[in-house]
Amino acid sequence: MALVYRPEIDGLRAVAVLPVILFHAGFAGFSGGYVGVDVFFVISGFLITSLLLADLDAGRFSLLNFYTRRARRILPALYLVVLVCIPFAWFWLLPTQFADFGKSVAAIGVFISNIEFYNLQGYFGPAAEEMPLLHTWSLSVEEQFYVAFPIILFLLWRYKWRSVSITVPVLMACLLVSFVISDWASGARPSGNFYLIPTRAWELLVGAMCAFALKSRNGASLNAVEQGIQNKIGANLGGVIALAGITMIGLAVFLFSEDTPFPSRYALLPVGGTALIILFAAPGTLAGRLLALPPIVGIGLISYSAYLWHQPLLAFYRVQHIEEQVQILIALIVAAFVLAFLTWLFVEKPMRSGRLSFFKTPRQVLTLSAAFSVFLVATGVTINKNDGFRHRFDQLNQLGYEWDNRAIRNESWSILREMAGDERYRATSNAYDRIAEFDPEDNRENMLIVGNSHSKDFFNILYFSELAADKFELARFGTQIRRIAGQHDLYDTNLYEQADRIVLITEYSKNDIDALSGVVDRMLKDGKRVILVTQMPEFPGKKHRTLADEVIIPILRKTDEIRTASVAAETAEMINRQYWDYIQEHGQFSEIDQKIRSVAQQAGVPVLDRRDSICDAEKQLCFAVSENLTKYLYDQSHLSLPGAEFSARLLDSTNWVDALE
């Protein structure tokens, strides 16, 4: 029996896609818009399970036909968007970005982009915003799920386990296991929890359970929403429940944020809300009528293509512009929907219909899909193996300008990595930090610097500091301040036991600030002399491109005149003054710094101001580049090694050691 079309499901797709797009565009008020993906997962699980159950009941189930339908539905529009992205990526992405882009293209070809992005980068943050194909992770999750799910369902049916008393408990057990793992991993393995199928499967299985719930008792129909649900609870109550579902999704969209552990028990809000809408938003209910309004259904119909187009448009814009303009973001969203409509009309509908002679039979569909997949893999591997075709920036290389901020970042870790004997030494979770010791033969005071990647920068500053060299032996322990508020490995290490002074420095979150007073009190009770450091100013820029790059690279591509000493010095002063003006205009971190100083005052410990190591108030400059255009910052707030060396001289000029006494 064919499934009855439910316009409210297309309306629900609109409810899913709009928050995702507005969240990615950065609009205030949609801090939890990413939950739209979870809504999509539930819808997908419901629709696919409904189709599979209908085929199984009718005795026409075929894996070949199932994967052919999936290919028709998903691949043509996806491949179009990826192909369109490639030339823009060639012209606009830096080699490091383009190499990563190549990895993502190859991963899309074999539906493992979620695994690739898990290995490469978290979902939130500036770097993620510049990845044109980041959003394809969710498609990979779905396809990985549908590799196994139809087979499991078929086996349950084949061995006469058609009774829901067998099938549903088996699937519910899988759902609960996945949910428990997800809730645990939201704290223990947050990035893997976000991207990987074991912790996302439960959301798709919730949709599958909705399909079973709407299946009539004799298995004859899968669409009796009013017959099966309203007869049991009544239309009025069903309508109220459906409205509650919409409210649940809205609460998640407006109240959740990047700091919400997700997915986890918090995901029950949007996932549960979606399930309630699917189960109870019958055509006669208020929720059903709202979701079935033609404009909302229209957005739902093109939601898949809108989802595909929006991220590349936003990412390429952000690659080219450090500061974003709201009117441009709105125009890009409009453009995404225009492209989505055209893609739906000229690509999705014809390809799904089966009327195109070259994309008609299962053999044709799967052969062409496989050929495109091979092409994407080959293209992506070629881009990546050629390091993003660095020759595109040969002119910059010849002129001696270091555009590769990733290389600068890696170099900034070189001192600590050499000290640790570990090329993988990083911001946190280092085995070396737990076994290292101060030199007992060294008569200087032992200073332990504790914090995230900013503690690496401060370690480098003091490493180059002449004042510190005379007075302190340095060591570092990488962690977040909030994580050492209770029991932590730090307090059991030789470094902590042997340290005379401890410097606490990080990029403070609210949780770090809340934990700071308790951490300081504990360390003071342990007999340590504690030093706090204020927040590092955060300048405009992205992970791969700084404000200085935005000024210098276009000039270098046009002329090498900037390499003359006088012009370079003038350009450097202009850039450094822009950095100063930026933090004066934005008044950054004053509230956070006040809280740090308040904790210090209450505890009676000294505070060092990070601005003293990067800015000169008398000259009204913040030093992002040297007079010969050597970069001191490789992103918004982290120092290169030359930047750390310069900061050491600047900090020493303030006689900062005197402030510690």
Residue 359 is predicted with a pLDDT of: 87
Q: Provide the pLDDT for residue 217.
A: 37
Torsion of CA 285, 286, 291, 294, to 10 degrees: 100
Per-residue pLDDT band for 226 (boundaries 50, 70, 90) equals very low
For the stretch 570-584, pLDDT in tens is 989 999 999 999 888
According to the model, what pLDDT value does residue 588 have?
58
Predicted confidence (pLDDT) per residue in 427-458, tens digit: 888 999 999 999 999 999 999 999 999 999 99
Amino acid 121: pLDDT: 61
Tens of pLDDT, residues 321-350: 877 899 999 999 999 999 999 999 999 999
Structure letter (DSSP) for residue 589: T
pLDDT of 16 over the 60 cut: yes
- Distance, in Å, from the CA atom of 375 to the CA atom of 78, rounded to the nearest integer, reads 14
Q: How confident is the model at residue 587 (pLDDT cuts 50, 70, 90)?
A: low
Mean per-residue pLDDT for 15-36?
Answer: 96
Confidence of residue 543 (pLDDT cuts 50, 70, 90): low
Inform me whether the pLDDT recorded for 227 exceeds 60: no
Instruction: Tell me how far apart the alpha carbons of residues 325 and 169 are, in angstroms, rounded to a whole number.
Output: 51
Q: Residue 335's Cα: distance from chain center in Å?
A: 23
pLDDT at 3: 73
Task: Tell me: pLDDT of 550 over 90.
Answer: no
Strand partners, 449: 476, 503
**The two three-digit tokens of residue 419, written as one number:** 């000290």
pLDDT at 251: 97
pLDDT value at 557 more than 70: no
- Give the pLDDT score at 554: 78
Percent share of the chain, pLDDT over 90 = 69
As a whole number, mean pLDDT of residues 187-192 equals 85
Residue 204 CA to residue 183 CA, distance in Å, equals 16
Distance, in Å, from the CA atom of 408 to the CA atom of 402, rounded to the nearest integer, reads 8
pTM of the shown model: 0.81
Tell me the average pLDDT across 552-560.
Answer: 73
Which of the two residues, 251 and 567, has the higher pLDDT score? 251
Quick one: pLDDT at residue 289? Answer: 93
Contact 552, 630 (CB under 8 A): no
Query: Distance from CA of residue 39 to its chain's centroid?
Result: 18
Where is average pLDDT lowest: 94-98, 578-582, 642-646?
94-98
Q: What is the pLDDT of residue 313?
A: 98
pLDDT over 60 (residue 228): no
Give the length of the chain: 661
**Rounded mean pLDDT of the chain?**
90
Do residues 179 and 262 lie in contact, with contact meaning Cβ atoms separated by under 8 Å?
no
CB 512 within 8 A of CB 580: no
Pairing, β 607-608 against β 621-622: unpaired
Q: Read off the pLDDT band of 494 (50, 70, 90).
A: very high
